[in-house]
Structure 1
Amino acid sequence: MTTTLPRRLGAGLLERASTHPGNVALTLGRRDYTYEEFTVTARSWAAALVESTGGRPRRIGVFAARSATSYLGVAAVLFAGAAFVPLNRKFPPGRTRTMVERADVDAVVVDAASAPQLPEILPYLASRPVLVLPETLRADVPGLDGHRVLDAADLAVFAPPAELPEPAPDDPAYLLFTSGSTGVPKGVPVTHGNVRAFLDANQDRYRLTADDRLTQTFDQTFDLSVFDLFMAWENGARVCAMDPIELLAPFTYLERNGITLWFSVPSVAAVLRRRGVLRPGTMPTLRWSLFCGEALPRATAEAWQAAAPHSVVENLYGPTELTIACTAYRWNPATSPAECVRDNVPIGTPYPGLDAIVMDENDDEVADGEAGELCVAGAQTTPGYWRAPELTAQRYVERDGRTYYRTGDLVRHVNGQYVCLGRNDQQVKIGGHRVELGEIEAAARRAGALEAVALLWPDAGTIALVAVGVDDPRALSDACERELPTYMVPKVIHAIEEMPVNLNGKVDRAALPRVLADHAGAPR
């Protein structure tokens, strides 16, 4: 077994299997997998992937979720020298098919729960990727004709190889597909060098040890899951994969598993706060509490800090194109409330080695304190969109010899910290006035709403507000009138019990027009 791969993603997993073989790498339900057991299995699967694809594969889909196969599959793909492509059975089969085709995968690793979707995907593919079924036998899955299949029995004959293919720093470690404005998923290849820069910056910040235990709250099609897995595995710590139902009341789970690092989208914490279960002192084992993926409201940060009194709360920010997260802000109960803007926690400062600038619509850098689009360059900046040069040219810009990614997020640099003002596509015009929807949402939260989302509905001239935790919409409207100009006051306010969320746990803004239409009795 080789342990001389210091820069590849997965190198730490190999090293910890050598230095801490008996440590638990993964807790899945009530089942623990030690580093030795985990890596022996993953390396054996890697040997099968290399042999079945006729040499080092390029990209391999992992069509699995919250199962042993989903985690072992990722490690096996990396050990085979390939990039993993996360796929999700919660997605419509047509979307999964598009991702498989665009990624041009050599193989797909499939768990038992995802295998029933294969007949809806495979017949429509132009290629014939190898199918790896660690949890099932080929006879139990219909529609596999024309594909080479390795099932559980086949995998059992492979042994861990003495040497593993070694990727270069510029080779993709994973290919993640995100929503595209055209309706077609856009691929973001993230290189080994990108991820190594991210992991190094975070280890300098958090100093994780083999005693740490990390949550895994995200689906693996959400790149924040890479933090959980590899920050743990690089440092001999344990990943504890939570079932989504456990997020509704995580306190027993956290205590039973001795969780020291929590990581989720803020919406998870907001739901707990809204339900009144985020009580002081309920999460005593936590020493780090990290949030990313959407704005972190001040009140949510305050409530979480009280519930996890021994924990440092941080707000992370970053799009997939900048490798998981690129800025961080450390919450200070004494000073941070005054630093919040629009009642949201700042996104902080860039990671070491990253350069951030704020540009206006003419690509000119704005003065400190002025609003503009955040653009970031550095080792975490991914090389561009997968086989989409025109889209890459739109979002990646050369400046002073460096390549900056245009985030599409409006920010302001205030007192040494970046504060996020919302998306540049969430600025709308009402009666000739420029309106930031985030400003309306902040006013609603200050007036008592636990969550609030403003949008144009039913036409471009009307602002609607969907709010959670509001008993009297009329009183909320009156409060907005006292704080906002008349043209910014929502004309429609709809109170609901819970915000719709997408598969990543973020508020699903695209679903809100349907919520409003149903509320108004209008047809969809």
Structure 2
Amino acid sequence: MTTTLNRRLGDGILRHAAVRPDHIALTVQGRDLGYAEVADTARRWAALLVEAVGGRPRRVGVFAYRSRVSYLGVAAALFAGAAFVPLNRKFPQSRTRTMMERAELDAVLVDAASLPQLPELLRDLPKRPLVLLPDTLRSDAPDLGDARVLDAADLAAMSPLDGFPEVSPGDPAYLLFTSGSTGTPKGVPVTHGNVRAFLESNQDRYALTPGDRPTQTFEQTFDLSVFDLFMAWENGARVCAMDPLELIAPFKYLERNGITVWFSVPSVAAVLRKRGVLTPGTMPTLRWSLFCGEALPRAAAEAWQAAAPGSVVENLYGPTELTIACTVHRWDPVSSPAACVHENVPIGRPYPGLHPLVVDEDLRPVAAGGTGELCMAGPQTTPGYWRAPDLSAERYFAHEGRTYYRTGDLVRLQNGEFVHLGRNDQQVKVSGHRIELGEIEAVLHRAGAVEAVCLLRPGSRLAAVVSGVTDPGALNDACAAALPAYMVPSAIHIVDAMPVNANGKVDRPALARRLDQESAGG
């Protein structure tokens, strides 16, 4: 039976702070924070946000990384009635600055480790946000020009916020920026109603309790992190934020912290399997093992199931525009292997209340069992791209009274479940991150390439082929300066001219074959 959650994302923190104040809500950087402490701190920060902005802020940036500020800042923004906008100091500063500018932030919370980047990010920003420094004194901060700054002392002096600003189901809960084909990140506003529908479906499925301990393996600029935080906080559980280094050998961490819910990209399982460390019975505390963000290889699912014999293994699928995940397949050691296609686990059945539609290139429904692009409508479908009506019109369309989002993923319905057959555009996933190859190509063009094509190679490696340049080093430097590390090509090949097909377009398959031949010859 579905339990209706409060409308405001984050209200679960307040509810559990009242009934189990000392129960741990968050473990981060070796520190345990109880529900009462999380609620009290976030309410103080929210009170200062509301007072300093002069009312309800609309969008609050959280420029912090796997810290107390990064997680409690999210709660504070929500309590203040704002949408939170996660920012990542490990991204190139030019990318972060673009996100800040496009989001038109009213305020930004910054942790001490991210603070050194802030002066450059604020420089010449058209709208200067209020700056909150929860763990830094103003005297220890760098020169932030004419920005209004409130520091740790100001925040500590505030009384916790009462009388929270009202939010409606259609208000954005968070704004995420994903890779864009024009070279500019595109914003996806996700509403409170979108997230509530997702959480209700998942709680019906997973039934988390205060005794559960989910992992937080994802960076907060990755929307899968929302599952960990709010599935935990809405249900009184304890979310455990792992350091990325702990993913290399997570077994001691899982045992030490009594982890019951694992959630990561499949590549983590694939790497552990390749290293030969997923030995039977090594993860006895897990009761759920969830994977999302890219294809889950059959061999990785089998090895993980053996290593976590007491857990149920599931493969989730979904783009940001459909709120974290929209289909799921439950791994069955007996029947699932035969259902795999291209050695990948099926993406499964849609969540309750969602309406799938498989269409051809003209958006016409395909025959039952036919291959086509997966589109989805329902309460998890986000309202469109942030201030980009033309882009929204390309990806969202109406059909029989419903608004569908076009995923760009090719699927086929097989025995009542969807299997994933690839992409119908030039969007790929690397380590769970969705990437528009055109964004990388745009950077290469700006750096001087006359022609530029980026390809996904075996082993989830990115390779670029360019013409009109003689120095690939300059292109490497340009990519490193403008793109996150996971988007930087591992190799750049220079050609005199690109092969073209009968339509005069660059023949990407021919380029891929050429690279294959070069690899074989080398």
Could you tell me which residue of structure 2 aligns to residue 35 of structure 1?
A: 35
Instruction: Name the CA distance, whole Å, in 1 between partners of 2:191 and 2:168.
Output: 9
- From the superposition, tell whether residues 46 and 300 of structure 1 become closer, same or farther in structure 2 (CA, over 3 Å): same
Cα deviations by residue, 1:446-482 (Å, 9 ceiling, x for unpaired): xxxxxxxxxxxxx9999995349xxxxxxxxxxxxxx
How far apart, CA to CA, are the structure 2 residues paired with 1:219 and 1:58?
Answer: 23
- Amino acid in structure 2 at the alignment position of 1:201: S
Indicate the residue corresponding to 2:100 in structure 1: 100
* Residue matched to 2:119: 119
Give how far 1:9 is off. Answer: 0.5
Q: Secondary structure at the match of 2:108?
A: strand
Q: Does 1:61 align with 2:61?
A: yes
**Cα displacement (A) at 1:11:** 1.4
- Contact 1:5–1:166 (CA under 8 A) maintained in structure 2: no
The CA deviation at 1:261 is 0.2
Q: Which amino acid aligns with 2:196?
A: R
State whether residues 7 and 167 of structure 2, in contact with CA within 8 Å, keep that contact through their aligned partners in structure 1.
Answer: no
Whether the 8 Å CA contact 2:381–2:405 is kept in 1: the answer is: yes
Kindly indicate whether the alpha-carbon contact (under 8 Å) linking 1:26 and 1:33 is maintained by their aligned counterparts in 2: yes
Give the deviation of 1:141 after TM superposition.
2.2
In the TM superposition, what is the alpha-carbon distance from 1:5 to its structure 2 partner? 8.1
Report the Cα offset of residue 165 of structure 1.
1.0
Q: Does 1:310 align with 2:288?
A: no
Q: Are positions 1:511 and 2:479 aligned together? A: no
Shift of 1:512: 4.5
**Equivalent residue, structure 2, for 1:221:** 221
Structure 1 segments of 4+ aligned residues over 4 angstroms from their partners: 459-465, 506-510, 515-521
The CA distance in 2 between the partners of 1:461 and 1:235, in whole Å, is 46
Distance 1:316 1:245 in 2: 24
Find the aligned partners of 1:133 and 1:349 in 2 and give their Cα distance.
44
* Structure 1: segments with no counterpart, 5+ residues: 428-436, 439-458, 469-501
- Any residues of structure 2 matched to 1:314-353 within 5 Å, and which? 314-353=314-353
**For structure 2, which runs of at least 5 residues remain unmatched after alignment?**
430-450, 461-479, 496-514
1:513 Cα deviation (Å)?
A: 4.3
Question: Which whole-Å deviations, capped at 9, do the CAs of 1:193-247 have from their partners, x for residues lacking one?
Answer: 0000000000000000000000000000000000000000000000000000000
Deviation at 1:315, TM superposition (A): 0.2
Mapped to 2, the partners of 1:109 and 1:197 lie a distance apart of 28
Question: Which segment drifts farther, 139-148 or 70-79?
Answer: 139-148
**2:458 is equivalent to residue 466 of structure 1:** yes
Aligned-partner Cα distance in 2 for 1:93–1:282: 40
Q: What is the match of residue 10 of structure 2?
A: 10
Partner residue of 1:142?
142
After superposition, the Cα gap between the structure-2 partners of 1:462 and 1:396, relative to the gap in structure 1 and judged at 3 Å, is: closer
Q: For residue 160 of structure 1, what is the amino acid of its counterpart?
A: P
Deviation digits for residues 76-118 of structure 1 (CA, Å, limit 9, x no counterpart): 0000000000000011111111101100110000001110001
1:415 counterpart residue number: 415
State the shift of 1:143 in Å: 2.9
Identity %: 69
For residues 281-300 of structure 1, the aligned pairs below 5 Å read 281-300=281-300
The question of whether the paired residues in 2 share the 8 Å contact of 1:354 and 1:378 is answered with: yes
For residues 326-372 of structure 1, the C-alpha deviation after alignment (integer angstroms, 9 at most, x for no partner) is: 00000000000000011100000000000001000011100121110
AA partner of residue 200 (structure 1): E
Name the CA distance, whole Å, in 2 between partners of 1:182 and 1:356. Answer: 28
Change (3 A) 1:399 1:28: same
Partner SS for 1:156: helix
Between stretches 287-296 and 136-145, larger displacement belongs to 136-145
> Is contact 1:179-1:185 (8 Å) kept?
yes
Q: Find the counterpart in structure 2 of residue 447 from structure 1.
A: none
CA distance in 2, matches of 1:461, 1:145: 41
Q: Is residue 179 of structure 1 aligned with residue 174 of structure 2?
A: no
Paired with 2:493 and 2:333, the residues of 1 have a C-alpha distance of: 36
How far 1:29 sits from its partner (Å)? Answer: 3.0
Which of 1 and 2 has higher RCO (CA within 8 Å, sep 6+)? 2
In 1, Cα distance between the equivalents of 2:212 and 2:149? Answer: 38
Q: 1:368 to 1:205 in 2, by over 3 A?
A: same
TM score, norm. by length of structure 2: 0.83
1:194·1:323 contact (CA, 8 Å) conserved in 2? yes
Report the residue type matching 1:511 in the other structure: P
- Report Cα offsets for 1:38-77 as digits up to 9, x if no partner: 1000001000000111111000000001000000100000
8 Å CA contact 2:5, 2:200 repeated in 1:
no
CA pair 460-77 structure 1, distance change in 2 beyond 3 A: closer
Cα distance in structure 2, aligned partners of 1:266 and 1:202: 19
Alpha carbons of structure 1 residues 44 and 507: separation in structure 2 relative to 1, 3 Å: closer
The alpha-carbon deviation at position 162 of structure 1 amounts to 2.4
- The alpha-carbon deviation at position 20 of structure 1 amounts to 1.6
Cα deviation digits, residues 411-444 of structure 1 (max 9, x gap): 00110000001111269xxxxxxxxx99xxxxxx
**For the aligned residues, what is the CA RMSD?**
2.7
Q: Is the 8 A contact 1:137 1:152 kept in 2?
A: yes
* Alpha carbons 1:290, 1:315 under 8 Å: kept: yes
* CA–CA separation in structure 2 for the residues paired with 1:508 and 1:357: 32
Asked if 2 retains the 8 angstrom alpha-carbon contact of 1:466 and 1:512, the reply is no
Q: Is the 8 A contact 1:368 1:414 kept in 2?
A: no
Q: Distance in 2 between matches of 1:465 and 1:234?
A: 41
What letter is aligned with 1:410? L
**How far does residue 6 in structure 1 lie from its aligned partner after superposition?**
1.5
Provide the secondary structure at the position in 2 that maps to 1:76: helix
Q: Tell me the CA shift for residue 145 of structure 1.
A: 2.0
Q: Aligned residue for 2:24?
A: 24
Deviates more, 1:306-315 or 1:11-20: 11-20
TM-score of the superposed pair, with normalisation by structure 1: 0.83
Question: Does the 8 A contact of 2:132 with 2:149 survive in 1?
Answer: yes
Q: Superposed, which structure 2 residues align to 1:191-206 within 5 Å?
A: 191-206=191-206
Structure 2 counterpart of 1:358: 358
Secondary structure of the 2:366 match is: coil
Q: What is the rounded CA distance, in whole Å, between the counterparts of 1:281 and 1:156 in structure 2?
A: 46
Query: Could you report, residue by residue, the CA deviation over 1:273-302 in whole angstroms, capped at 9, with x for unpaired residues?
Result: 111111111000000000000000000000
* Equivalent-residue separation in structure 2 for 1:236 and 1:462 (angstroms): 45
- Indicate the residue corresponding to 1:272 in structure 2: 272
Task: Mark the CA change 1:511 to 1:363 in structure 2 (over 3 Å): closer, same or farther.
Answer: same
Rounded to whole Å, the distance in 1 between the matches of 2:293 and 2:37 is 33
Query: Which residue of 1 is the match for residue 158 of structure 2?
Result: 158
Aligned twin of 2:505: none
Give the SS at the match of 1:91.
coil
Deviations 1:154-194 (A, max 9, x none): 11110112221121110000000001000101000000000
DSSP 3-state at the match of 1:313: strand
What number of residue pairs does the alignment pair up? 455
Whole-angstrom CA distance in 1 between matches of 2:22 and 2:325: 31
| Structure-1 residue corresponding to 2:255 | 255
> Do structure 1's residue 376 and structure 2's residue 368 form an aligned pair?
no
